[in-house]
Chains A and B, each alone.
Chain A
Amino acid sequence: MKNPLESLPNTVLMGVILTVIMVAVLAAIE
């Protein structure tokens, strides 16, 4: 399987998803 980090759009998408998860965790512990 191809490493998803080889694709720049996939990298940005994963970065955005990680951000959304982080924001959700911060909202949950607020």
Chain B
Amino acid sequence: MYLFDEIWGQFMIRWLHVGSGVMWIGLLWYFNFVQIPNMPKIPDEQKPAIGKVIAPAALFWFRWAALATLVTGLVLMAWTGDILDTMTLGIVGAAEDAFVLKHTAIGIGMWMGIIMAFNVWGVIWPNQKKALGMVEVDADAKKKAARTAMLYSRTNTLLSIPMLYAMVSAQNIY
């Protein structure tokens, strides 16, 4: 009976990890590929529909999906016993040979993901709260916060490309 055994449990955590990761990176790409480039095309009187309704809802699922992805990923690596091997990029750990590429590849992806999750909770979300008027600040600070949030969101878009390669290649080719 494979249901409810350790392998199945680890698979369930991996399934939750991939699912929350799809929501996180999907919404990240929505912000960067859809929302941000099209905001200038929306008439001023219609902008609150995005700023007051769509963006806060998208940001809710975005930041909690980021946290869920981080937590499920770390829980999975702790459960399989690979956390030291992966966090040290395969240099240190239980594996017999240095640089076991599976650990190196997924470790690179994990560190990129950790940086991205920190960017979400430490930079993007606090600045979006100012930019969207959830926290009252003056007009200059609001503009600056929107720019900072956008640049860190772009940084995460940049990192998402090698991060996904690292994660998927570790699973499939190494």
Interface positions, chain B 91-115, Cβ under 8 Å from A, are: 99, 101, 104-105, 108
Please report whether the interface of chain A is mostly helix, strand, loop or mixed according to DSSP: helix
- The reply to whether A8 and B162 form a contact with Cβ atoms under 8 Å apart is no
With CB as the reference atom, state the residue of chain B lying closest to A30.
Answer: B101
- The reply to whether A12 and B151 form a contact with Cβ atoms under 8 Å apart is no
Please report whether the interface of chain B is mostly helix, strand, loop or mixed according to DSSP: helix
Does B158 belong to the interface (CB within 8 Å)? yes
With contact pairs A8-B37, A12-B157, A19-B162 given, residues A3 and B151 touching in the complex (Cβ less than 8 Å) = yes
With CB as the reference atom, state the residue of chain B lying closest to A29.
Answer: B99
- The reply to whether B154 and A8 form a contact with Cβ atoms under 8 Å apart is yes
- Please give the distance in Å from A12's CB to the nearest CB on chain B: 7
Q: Work out how many contacts link A and B, with CB atoms closer than 8 A.
A: 51
Does B53 belong to the interface (CB within 8 Å)? no
List the B side residues contacting A19 at CB < 8 Å: 161-162, 165
- The reply to whether A23 and B101 form a contact with Cβ atoms under 8 Å apart is no
Name which of B105, B157, B161 has the most chain A CB atoms within 10 A of its CB: B161
List the B side residues contacting A11 at CB < 8 Å: 32, 154, 157-158
Contact of A15 among B36, B105, B159 (CB under 8 A): B159
- The reply to whether A22 and B108 form a contact with Cβ atoms under 8 Å apart is yes
A8 to B101, CA, bound (A): 31
Against B, the Cβ 8 Å flags (1 = close, 0 = not) of A11-30 are: 11011101100110010011
Apart from the given pairs A6-B151, A15-B158, 10 other A-B contacts in the complex at a CB distance below 8 Å? A5-B151, A6-B150, A8-B36, A15-B161, A18-B162, A19-B161, A19-B162, A19-B165, A22-B108, A26-B169
Show the binding face of B for A, using Cβ within 8 Å: 32-33, 36-37, 99, 101, 104-105, 108, 150-151, 154-155, 157-162, 165-166, 169, 174
The 29 sampled A-B contact pairs (Cβ below 8 Å) are A5-B151, A5-B158, A6-B150, A6-B154, A8-B32, A8-B33, A8-B37, A11-B154, A11-B157, A12-B161, A14-B158, A15-B157, A15-B158, A15-B159, A15-B162, A16-B161, A18-B158, A18-B159, A19-B162, A22-B108, A22-B165, A23-B165, A26-B101, A26-B104, A26-B105, A26-B169, A29-B99, A29-B104, A30-B99
